[in-house]
Amino acid sequence: MYNTNITKARTNLFTIADMVINTGEIVNVSTKNGNFIMLSDDEYRSFVETIYLYSIPGYVDSIIEAMNEPMEERIRLSEVNWDEL
């Protein structure tokens, strides 16, 4: 995480924006009233999706269960009859 203060962030806004967008770096900007975070739209959407998925009861347990299932017992996508779904 990159840390800066509001004065430096204001002076270097375009450089910081490029860094956030192009590298996925998260920027913590401090002000006298508190801090705020700058992150790319992709990172934001990823966080929101992760929070949503973790809010579904049993979701994480089902993922862990599937990961622990032996490979030979897993359904292969090539074996799925998509027309029947």
Each residue's pLDDT tens digit, 56-75:
999 999 889 888 888 777 76
25, 46: one domain = no
35, 60: one domain = no
- For residue 3, give the nearest of 39, 29, 24 by alpha carbon: 29
- For residue 30, give the nearest of 13, 8, 14, 6 by alpha carbon: 6
34, 54: one domain = no
Strand intervals (E) in the chain:
2-5, 27-31, 34-38
30, 48: one domain = no
- 53's CB contacts (< 8 A; 6+ apart) are 59
Write out the residue range of the structural domain in which residue 46 sits: 42-74
Predicted confidence at residue 77, as pLDDT, reads 67
- CA–centroid distance for 41 within its chain: 10
pLDDT digits over 1-53, tens only? 999 999 999 999 999 999 999 999 999 999 999 999 999 999 999 999 999 99
Predicted confidence at residue 8, as pLDDT, reads 98
Whole-number Å distance between alpha carbons of 50 and 58: 14
- 58 occurs within a structural domain: yes
67, 48: one domain = yes
11, 35: one domain = yes
69, 47: one domain = yes
| CATH number for the domain that contains residue 13 | 3.40.1620
- For residue 26, give the nearest of 48, 53, 3 by alpha carbon: 3
- 80 occurs within a structural domain: no
